Chain A
Amino acid sequence: MNMDEHDALDQALFALPLEEAPAGLRASILLATAYRPSPAFSFLELAALGALGAIAIWLSVLLALGGGTLFVHTLETIGTFASRALSSTATLAWLAAGGATALWLSLFTGSQPLVVAPHRSGRRAGR
C-alpha cells in the first residue's frame, strides 16, 4: 500500500487492530464497579459489633487489672444504672420514640437503587 497517499494512511489507521487487553482486566473492572460484592455487615451492624467488642475488651481489662472485685463492682454499677434507666417512664418513652423513628426512616432508605456520587473527573470530562 502506498503510504504517501493521505487516504491510504487514514485507511491504514482505521484498520489498525486495537491492543489486546490483558487477561482479567474486564473481570477486575466489573468487580470494582457493577458487580462489587456488598459488604458482609451494614454500617449500623458494624457500629453495634464495635461497641460490643469495646465493652468486652473493657470488661476483660478490668478483670485482668483489678481481679474479681473490680469486675463484679463494675457489672453491678452497670446493672444498677440500666435497671434505673429502664424503670423510668421518660427513658422508655424516649427509647420507643427513637426506635420508631429509626424504623420509619429505614422504610424509606432500605431499598434505594444504586446511588452514584458526583466526581471531579466526571465534571472535567463533561467540559
Chain B
Amino acid sequence: MNAEIEDGNLVALTLRGNAEAFATLVERYDRAVYHLAYRTLHDVEEARDATQEAFFKAFRSLRTFKPGSKFSTWIFAIAYHACCDRLNRRKRYASEELPERADPAPGPEQQAIALDQAARLRAAIDALPEKYRTVITLFHLQGKQYDEIASVLGLPMGTVKTHLFRAKEQLRRLLGEMEVTES
C-alpha cells in the first residue's frame, strides 16, 4: 500500500472492504500504540494485549471515526482507555500502589549506572507518577500538539499544559539526581 496515502483515505478504503488499507494503518501505528501502552502499563504482556485490543476496537468502530480528524489521536485515545481499564482492574484487585504493580525493575538511581542517555531518560520517565508519565509519553509521540494530547486524555488543554510543565520539572530533577549519583 502506498505510503503517501493519508490515514483518512486508508480508513475510507478499509470501510469499502480493502483489508490492505487497514494493514497499512496497523503498520504505521502499532509501534507507537505499543509504546504508549508499555509506558503506561509497564508490563510487556499487558501492553501487548492493550495494543491488540485497541486495534481490534478501532477496526470494529471504524465507522465512528470522524473524517478530518487524526487517526493517530483516535487510536491513541482508544489505547489509552484500554490501558486505563487495565490500571483500574489492577487497583481493584491489588492494594499496592501502581508503581509496585509494574514489572519488577531497579529504581532510577540504580538503572542510571552504566546506562546511556536514552535509557536514563526512560528510567526517569518511568519514575514519574502515572498522570505525568502518560502526558510525557504522548508529548513524545504527538509533539507539541497540546489539543491532540488533551483529546486523547479527555482533559482540558490547560490541565495538559500544567501536567506537562510539572512532568518536565520532575524529569529535570530526576535526571539531575541521576547525574549526581553517576558522578
A121 to B38, CA, bound (A): 20
Check: B112 CB closer than 8 A to any chain A CB: no
Contacts of A123 in B (CB 8 A): 61, 64
Place the interface of chain B in its size category.
Answer: 35 or more
User: Are A9's CB and B55's CB within 8 A?
Assistant: no
A122–B73 Cα gap in the complex (Å)? 12
Complex: how many Å from CA A26 to CA B22?
12
Residue of A nearest to B179 (CB): A3
Please give the distance in Å from B124's CB to the nearest CB on chain A: 9
Q: Are B168's CB and A9's CB within 8 A? A: yes
The interface residues of chain A lying within 8 Å CB-to-CB of B118 are 15-17
Chain B residues whose CB sits within 8 angstroms of the CB of A20 once the complex forms: 31
A-chain residues with CB within 8 Å of residue B78 when the two chains form the complex: 121-122, 124-125
Asked if residues A35 and B77 are in contact (CB atoms below 8 Å), the reply is no
B128 interfacial by beta-carbon distance below 8 Å: no
Q: Is B52 an interface residue (CB 8 A)?
A: yes
The size of the chain A interface, using a CB distance under 8 A, is 39
Q: Which of B96-127 contact A (CB under 8 A)?
A: 117-118, 121-122
Q: Answer whether residue A45 sits at the interface, using C-beta atoms and an 8 A cutoff.
A: no
In the assembly, what is the distance between CA of A20 and CA of B51, in Å? 13
The contact string, 1 if C-beta is below 8 Å from chain A, for chain B 154-170, is 10000000000000100
Taking a contact as CB atoms under 8 Å apart, the answer to whether B117 and A12 are in contact is yes
Q: Is the CB of B52 within 8 A of A29?
A: yes
Query: Is B149 in contact with chain A by the CB < 8 A criterion?
Result: no
- With A12-B121, A25-B48, A34-B23 known as contacts, the answer to whether A19 contacts B31 (CB < 8 A) is yes
Contact A33 B20 (CB under 8 A): no
Q: Which residues of B contact A17 (CB under 8 A)?
A: 118
A83 to chain B, nearest CB (A): 46
Pair B48/A125 contact, Cβ less than 8 Å: no
The answer to whether B146 has its CB under 8 Å from any CB of chain A is: no
Given contacts A33-B56, A125-B78, A127-B154, 19 further A-B contacts (CB under 8 A): A1-B117, A9-B172, A19-B34, A20-B31, A25-B34, A30-B26, A32-B52, A32-B56, A33-B55, A33-B59, A34-B14, A116-B59, A116-B62, A118-B64, A121-B61, A121-B82, A122-B64, A125-B81, A126-B74
